[in-house]
Amino acid sequence: MAARTALPAQGANPIIGFVHRRRRGAELFLLVLALAVGIGAYAAVGIGVQGRVPADIVGYGGWLTALVVAAHVVVRIVAPYADPVLLPVVAALNGLGLAFIHRVDLVDGTDLARNQLIWMTLGAVLFMVTLVVLRDHRVLTRFTYTAGLSAIVLLLLPMMPVLGTEIRGARIWISLGPFSFQPGEVAKVLLVIAFAGYLVLHRDALALAGRRVLFVDLPRGRDLGPILGMWLVSLGILVFQKDLGSSLLFFGLFLVMLYVSTERPGWLVVGGALFLGGALTAWRLFGHVQTRVSVWLDPFAYYGEGTNDTGFQNVEGLFGMAWGGLLGRGFGGGDPTRIPIVESDFIIAGLGEELGLTGVIAILLLYGLIVERALRAAIISRDGFGKLLATGLGSVFALQVFVVIGGVTGLIPLTGLTTPFLSQGGSSLVANWVVIALLLRISDLARSPVPDLTADAEDDADESTQVIKL
Amino acid sequence: MNKPIRTVSVGIMLLFLALMLNVTYLQYWRADSLDSDPENRRAVDATFSQERGAVLVGRQAVAESVPSDDRYEFQRTYAKPLLYAHATGWFNYYNAQSSDCTTCQQWIEQTQNDILSGDDDRLFVTRLVDLLSNQGQKGGNVQLTLDPEAQQAAFDGLRQTIGPDGQGSVVALDPRTGKVLAMVSLPSFDPNRLASHDLSEVNAAYEQLDADEDDPLNNRAIQTTLPPGSTFKIVTAAAAIESGEYTAADQVPGGATYQLPLTSGETGLIDNEGRSCGTSLIPFAQAMEQSCNTTFARLAVEVGADAMRDQAEAFGFNEEYFDDLQPQAESVFPTDMNEPETGQSGIGQFEVRATPLQMAMVAAGIANDGKVMRPYLVDEVQSPEFERIEATEPELLSEAVSESTANQVTELMVSTVDNGTASPAAIDGISVAGKTGTAQSGIDDVPPYAWFTSFAPADDPQVAVAIVIQKAPGIDRGEIAGGLLGGPIAKAVMEAVIR
């Protein structure tokens, strides 16, 4: 994280008085494109797998359209200045994920896509509720410690004897009747809120004191408390829940937010050292970490006859993506169900097989856009809490994408995390919709005209006049 | 806080760049090597599901893919399984998995895999059209040189002679080009069983065939070398004439027995098993007609070990020359022989070993004025629409003997059919050149091998044949003789080609 020089010098302050346009029309247009992606993919799955357009395409497409239009209308009313790109990108990703889960359903005879659509509906509803209820994100600072405490409770829930369930070696699920829920996904959002609230208050103390060693300002020993605490929580998740991915995610998130709030790269050095130390210790002590690393280094040694097949999922994923090549096999043309749980963590491998490198790059760019819009909102946000919150949400999103897709494609060791908006799984989907709602709220506040000008800003046509006025 | 946010942005951008680069490397650069990984079931499944091109003999498809209603789209079927098994080979899940396997069966299904599967560069345009019209890739066809009538005649004749439990092989070549007109190896097997979609069935069939004592999976025409016995006298005669010491009209040493140099007693004593070979000098033609061991052993000694080896190698011994089917056995002519060994080798014994294809090439070389053509089985490769893409050009393998020598040896062989041991191969109205052979197996309890090689018409050769009968359980040991057993088969095959 070094290259700081390449950025434009206009720097810290946006031109005061510059008024953003609302761009709701643009959002609507992009939403139409996003719906075309989602519904088109659904139709393509039907044609590719069954040879015909699915019979329920009208109902499905109608439902998707209704959800998206409702979300758009709510945004138009309660957050008129919100970023116009985020919602369409999310709609496109979500639609693509649904189509692919439906494709897996057709092969496996399962009904995951229907469930996923219900979760998406719930996610969209929560998205709207968040926007309606939360008119100013700064309200959330009141819940700093509540959020932090809830997050810790949620993280502890899977450890409870009756509620918690261990699936595929990680104890991160809770079961309520037929539903299983991953509280870590919700905890993720709560943690960002808690960190942002805490850091915005204590940033000065964390930032000012310290001494300089070899060009970096190292923090004081007594200020190391929070970071050490978070480090221990992450290690605890790793040790007790065997959840490598979340552990990495939470610690990375905390580190980034600490750095942004204090503006001191020293924290990155300390945090990086702690991360390396923790990772090395975990690798030495825990069998499941060692296995992940060995499989990452040479997945083919753990695949096929005569091995224990620990690398089966990785290798099938690699084979699948290679098989997809540049343009992919097309929906129904590949054999993605060879990959275990391809509808969840490995969905990017399945999409890579059927949509090819082109499709994967497009998806990565969509994710990149979400992160870029989040960080843009952070930069133009007028309050520290908003900046931190947006940075945190954007970073956690980016880290999650990097950890899971990097793991599936063999860039880093595989750790179990869901692929935002694509993977099958309700908790992740709902939590991520709320993340987007928060980002829209921050961007709405950041982009809307400064309060005393609100009256004039109603009319877009007057915009140029307003700029001259100041 | 904007400065660190920008730094974080750059950091995240680097992470995304790393993801994109890695995915590009994986799906673009590394894709080919992953796709060809033998453990990659996706690639294997796809290969196995493809519509492969057909293998054609004459106008008939002897191997083709027909639509199948199980989990794979096409089933490979062999129309005349026993007749063409050793040419086509088979195609099943395992073969699809290891298309570059060098230790396994490498017959037409394998050596022409790129054409049949459609992966060959020459089919690029076809592939492109298939891709654009959204159709599955179709493979090209392979036209074999085999002559269906000759093949059938060879198969029927050999089968009749050796019975159901016998072992033997027939090869027929077009001497002018090297085209393989017939290639039969018995016992044969049914490649349909090995091409089943049911892998356990395939395994059971393979194990059974592999365990069979008569070794049906062996293509004896190219994979089994046996002592060629008296058929090798053609090479000895050619060497003697090439040496300049003799012509076909000359007298050659004869006699009832010949004691090999440096030996004494039974072991080094060559006789003629009662055939009439005169006392001291006899006409060259008589020596050939009566297949006189005493003559040819002595000629070999006179020519010398080195010249004998040069002559044998000029016909193709001690090398591999057949590309269309693999693996193949090299025919052997030993090096560094002493005089008695040289004498033995002159009558096709000692350590001389030849495949039936090799002996057919000896006959074909003589027939084609001394020029040995490289044998080939793939006549042409075609597009899926049966348009010719490339035809195999005949290629000269070596000039084994001069035209004059070839003509003289032909004379000797013609008179062997007209007046001598090879008479069963005679065809009315056509001049046939031939030579018999009965080679000692050198193993107790194993009866001798009967050989026959011939070509016709002698003045304008169209076909050269070699036949070996390795085991004929129904026939008494005493009756095993090349002329009697092989002659009629050779005649039938030659007639099938000429008429």
Does residue B56 sit within a domain? no
DSSP state at residue B448: P
Residue B56 backbone class (left: φ over 0; alpha: ψ -120 to 50; beta: rest): beta
User: Element (H or E) spanning B494, and its range?
Assistant: helix B482-498
- Rounded distance between C-alpha atoms, residue A456 and residue A453, angstroms: 6
Does residue B75 sit within a domain? no
Measured between beta carbons, which residues in chain A are less than 8 angstroms from residue B42?
A: 319-320, 323, 334-335, 338
Q: Looking at the complex, does the CB of residue B199 fall below 8 Å from at least one CB of chain A? A: no
Does residue B166 sit within a domain? no
Q: Which CATH number do you get for residue B431?
A: 3.40.710.10
Q: Looking at the complex, does the CB of residue A400 fall below 8 Å from at least one CB of chain B? A: no
Tokens at B364, concatenated: 């074909």
Q: Which range of residues forms the domain containing residue A185?
A: 139-285
Contact B19, A409 (CB under 8 A): yes
CB contact under 8 A, A379 and B6: yes
pLDDT at A1 over 50: no
Mean pLDDT for B181-200 is 88
Report CA torsion sign: B30, B32, B34, B35: positive
CA distances from B302 to B263, B297, B306, B333 (A): 16, 9, 11, 17
Contact B360, B464 (CB under 8 A): yes
Does residue B16 sit within a domain? no
DSSP state at residue B409: H
Out of A283-297, B60-74, B122-136, B142-156, pick the least confident.
Answer: B122-136
Report CA torsion sign: A433, A437, A442, A447: positive
B52 in helix, strand or coil?
A: coil
Q: How confident is the model at residue A4 (pLDDT cuts 50, 70, 90)?
A: very low
Cβ partners under 8 Å of residue A266, min gap 6: A210, A216, A217, A218, A219
pLDDT at A456 over 60: no
pLDDT at B257 over 50: yes
pLDDT at B274 over 80: no
Residue of chain A minimizing CA distance to B20? A361
Does residue B298 sit within a domain? yes
CA distances from B191 to A449, B156, B219, B379 (A): 80, 19, 13, 22
pLDDT at A6 over 50: no
- Rounded distance between C-alpha atoms, residue A326 and residue B35, angstroms: 13
| pLDDT > 70 fraction of chain B, expressed in percent and rounded | 97
Does residue A18 sit within a domain? no
Which amino acid would we find at residue A431?
Answer: A
Q: How confident is the model at residue B12 (pLDDT cuts 50, 70, 90)?
A: very high
Active site residue B230: yes
pLDDT at A438: 95
With CA atoms as reference, report the closest residue to A99 among A35, A144, A151. Answer: A35
Q: How confident is the model at residue A217 (pLDDT cuts 50, 70, 90)?
A: low
Cβ partners under 8 Å of residue B440, min gap 6: B227, B229, B349, B448
| CB crowding B231-250: b at 16 or more within 10 Å, else e | bbbbbbbbbbbbbeebebee
- Residue B427 sits at φ, ψ, to 5 deg, of -120, 135
Q: Which range of residues forms the domain containing residue B342?
A: 225-376+394-498
CB contact under 8 A, B40 and A323: yes
Scanning the structure block, which residue is given the tokens 């090869």?
B171
When divided into structural domains, chain B yields a total of 1
* Choice between B318 and A169, residue whose per-residue pLDDT is larger: B318
Contact A79, A446 (CB under 8 A): no
Out of B16-30, B115-129, B171-185, B238-252, pick the least confident.
Answer: B115-129
pLDDT at A444: 93
Report CA torsion sign: B199, B202, B208, B209: negative
CB contact under 8 A, B16 and A402: yes
DSSP notation for A217-248: EEPPGGGGHHHHHHHHHHHHHHHHH--HHHHH
Mean pLDDT for B461-472 is 90
Longest dimension (CA), chain A: 77
Report CA torsion sign: A71, A74, A78, A84: positive
CB contact under 8 A, B3 and A12: yes
pLDDT at A151 over 80: yes
In tens, the pLDDT along B421-436 reads 888 888 888 888 988 8
- Rounded distance between C-alpha atoms, residue A95 and residue A116, angstroms: 10
Mean pLDDT for A201-224 is 70
Contact B351, B343 (CB under 8 A): no
pLDDT at A469: 47
Out of A33-42, A147-156, A376-385, B313-322, pick the least confident.
Answer: A147-156
Question: A residues 324-343 near B, CB within 8 Å?
Answer: 324-326, 334-335, 338
pLDDT at A215 over 90: no
- Rounded distance between C-alpha atoms, residue B296 and residue B289, angstroms: 12
Tokens at A273, concatenated: 């050292």
In tens, the pLDDT along A301-319 reads 888 777 778 888 899 999 9
User: Element (H or E) spanning A397, and its range?
Assistant: helix A384-408
Give the closest of A256, A357, A368 to B8, CB-based. A256
In tens, the pLDDT along A329-352 reads 888 888 888 888 888 889 999 999
ipTM, two decimals, is 0.89
Strands B167-173 and B463-471: antiparallel
Catalytic residue among B230, B345, B383, B398: B230
Q: Looking at the complex, does the CB of residue A317 fall below 8 Å from at least one CB of chain B? A: no
Does residue A50 sit within a domain? no
Does residue A164 sit within a domain? yes
Does residue A302 sit within a domain? no
- Residue A329 sits at φ, ψ, to 5 deg, of -90, -5
pLDDT at B392 over 50: yes
